[in-house]
Amino acid sequence: MVKFDLTHYQCPQLFVQFRYQLKIALQENTQNGNTVEIVYLVSVDSDINDIERYLKFHQYTYQIVSKADKNELIVSLIRGNN
């Protein structure tokens, strides 16, 4: 599992950093040939609608886990059939 702390970013930097970290994780995943789970830590008050739309559009499986002091966005690097 790979974990990225994005709590100090707000939109639009949050989305840019999310995409950048995802790109790096995808490159490493391709090189290693392993399925990887990525956890993004984001502030509770962060707007993650753009991130969710991106994940849905590219057919990633994901879940959002809310905790008392932070949100965890868990992204599985498994795409759909398209």
Domain count, the chain: 1
Measured CA to CA in angstroms, residue 66 lies from 10, 27, 58, 69 at distances of 17, 28, 23, 8
Does residue 82 register a pLDDT over 50? Answer: no
Angle at 71 between CA 30 and CA 42, to 5 degrees: 65
- CATH number of the domain at 8, please: 3.30.110.40
pLDDT at 33: 58
Select from 50, 57, 59, 67 the least CA-distant residue to 15: 50
Question: What domain range is 66 assigned to?
Answer: 2-79
For residue 14, give the DSSP letter: H
For residue range 42-69, list pLDDT tens digits in order.
887 888 889 989 989 988 888 877 766 6
